[in-house]
Amino acid sequence: MAAAVDSRPSPMGRQPSSPTKSSTYMEQLKAPAVLNLFQQNDTIKHLETIHLLKREYRNRQLYEIWSFAIAMVGIVLMLATNEVLMGRQVDMTPAAERIKVATSVTTFVLLLLIVKRYQSHTSIYKMQNILPPRSSMLREYWRVLLLELLICGFHVPPGIHGLVPMMQFRYTLNANSTTGLDTCAHPKNLHVTVVDDGCYLDYTYTYDTFGVLMVLRLYLFGRYMRSSSPLYSQWASFIGTLKNVNTMDPFFHFKAIFNTKPLRLVLPLLFFVTFLTAAILRILEVPAQPYFMNYWTSVWLTIATITSVGYGDYVPATHCGRFFMAFSGILGGLLILSLVQSIFFAALALTENESRVKYIIDQTRWEKARRHAAAGLIQTQFRLARKRRAGQDTTALAFTLYAYMAKVHQFARSEPSLATSFEEEMDHHMQRLLRALDAMRATEDTLTARIHAKTLTLDGVCDQLLTNVVGSS
């Protein structure tokens, strides 16, 4: 079939292609080699892979953000359950059971989100050729997935309630002791019990008290911080691969956010750790120390521990409370407060422009004081010489001259300096290298010119010798 020819005038005055050329072109496109080339072109396939990769990144981002949100909802529901039980001092109420039902629902949703997250994670690694194409989620991540499901799935389900008596050993009774070990008593009048010559702190936990272990879900905060970061994308991962940097590491995003907006990261984290620690400490300590029913007492103890003040007016008495407070003190006191201190000291540092302004002011004052000292030295020396010629006493002027000389030497050692930045040092080194390169090129040009001159001289001598030889023959 003949190819159709466009009879309309072509733009810019060009004539349409002839039917012969059009038919030849169409025949060339139908050649087996050209058809094979189009069949081997994987551009569309690559574009589809990029689109799928972008979609999986987006899915993993949503799964991680919602996982942390649902985990926090579960922790809040656990705290609400214990609040209801502590307020009524029972191990079960209808309101607490309803809250526990909601906790179980959020836990199921959380487990589902974690599984979906690992499915997207596996798909991403397969498309990036990090995992083999035939690998599966369970084959590659079953250990980590099982551990996460156990951690995030732990909670006290509805219908499970009861009391757990706790006997915490304090010391062994000694009838001959003169230091108070002959009687079983607590300095804060807490309930104690004697069992087989041993003094024990006696208190009772409910089953729901052990729900505080749900705080282990907070490990999801690292993924949440990565997924909510503006640096989270497949393009950032690709750039990091080129530079041998794992941009999907949560610690990378923590450092990036801390360097750009430190207060927006550290201050909410500090308040979160403080008030959550106080809430959990209250749950663990109220059965043994009823005055911790006041939430702000727990907040005060948490602040005193995190800030390393430690007044000692309130202390945890139970082993669980002490362990949790020690862990929170390490996390909040040593890590978070250290970050706050680094932000404070960084805010006190002078900027580059401020350092330059300070240097100019100091340099001007130094020059003025040095000129004043030099003028005083010259004037004193002149007066000293004049008094010596007049035969007068020069002791006072000699001491003044010595003082001016010492001041001049001090100025020579205390000249203000400006610390150069990395860019300025690099510019200085580059200029020095360029000067050395120019000197080498100049030397090379000189040697080339000398060689050229020697060559011309040698050619002239050779021509003269040939002329002499020919003339003599």
pLDDT, position 178:
67
Are both 280 and 329 inside the same structural domain?
yes
Are both 271 and 282 inside the same structural domain?
yes
Report strand pairing: 198-206 vs 163-172: antiparallel
Are both 427 and 440 inside the same structural domain?
yes
pLDDT, position 25:
58
Phi, psi of 190 (to 5 degrees): -80, 160
* CATH code of residue 270: 1.10.287.70
> Of 212, 237, 199, 223, whose CA–CA distance to 78 is shortest?
212
Q: Determine whether 82 is exposed, middle or buried from the number of CB atoms within 10 Å of its CB (0-12, 13-18, 19+).
A: buried
pLDDT, position 84:
92
Q: Is residue 463 part of a domain?
A: yes
Of 334, 349, 364, which residue constitutes the final position of a domain? 349
Who contacts 118 (Cβ-Cβ below 8 Å, separation ≥6)?
137, 141, 145
For each successive 10 residues of the chain (473 residues), what is the average pLDDT? 42 48 63 62 73 89 95 96 89 92 97 95 88 89 95 94 90 74 81 86 93 94 88 79 80 82 83 91 92 90 84 87 88 78 79 81 86 86 86 84 83 76 74 89 90 86 81 71
Are both 343 and 361 inside the same structural domain?
no
pLDDT, position 36:
65
Q: Is residue 428 part of a domain?
A: yes
Q: How far apart are CA 43 and CA 22, in angstroms?
A: 27
Number of domains making up the chain = 3
Q: Which two tokens stand for residue 457?
A: 């001289």
pLDDT digits (tens, 9 = 90+) for 101-110: 999 999 999 9
Q: Are 141 and 148 in contact (CB under 8 A)?
A: no
> Of 212, 226, 269, whose CA–CA distance to 117 is shortest?
226
Are both 451 and 405 inside the same structural domain?
no
Are both 356 and 337 inside the same structural domain?
no
Are both 266 and 345 inside the same structural domain?
yes
Q: Is residue 148 part of a domain?
A: no
Q: Is residue 238 part of a domain?
A: no
Q: Is residue 208 part of a domain?
A: no
Are both 369 and 383 inside the same structural domain?
yes
Q: How far apart are CA 16 and CA 236, in angstroms?
A: 49
> Of 147, 120, 79, whose CA–CA distance to 284 is shortest?
79
Domain containing residue 280:
261-349
Q: How far apart are CA 391 and CA 165, in angstroms?
A: 104
Are both 284 and 356 inside the same structural domain?
no
Q: Which two tokens stand for residue 90?
A: 């029972």
Q: At what angle do helices 262-285 and 337-348 cross, to 10 degrees?
A: 150
Are both 408 and 427 inside the same structural domain?
no
pLDDT, position 13:
45
Task: Compute, in degrees rounded to 10, the torsion defined by CA atoms 165, 170, 176, 178.
Answer: -130
Of 327, 349, 371, which residue constitutes the final position of a domain? 349
Are both 399 and 446 inside the same structural domain?
no
Of 322, 349, 376, which residue constitutes the final position of a domain? 349
Q: How far apart are CA 404 and CA 382, in angstroms?
A: 13
Q: Are 287 and 209 in contact (CB under 8 A)?
A: yes
Q: Is residue 285 part of a domain?
A: yes
Are both 298 and 315 inside the same structural domain?
yes
Q: How far apart are CA 273 and CA 367, in angstroms?
A: 54
Q: How far apart are CA 226 and CA 91, in angstroms?
A: 40
Q: Are 313 and 290 in contact (CB under 8 A)?
A: no
| Side chain identity at residue 170, one-letter code | R
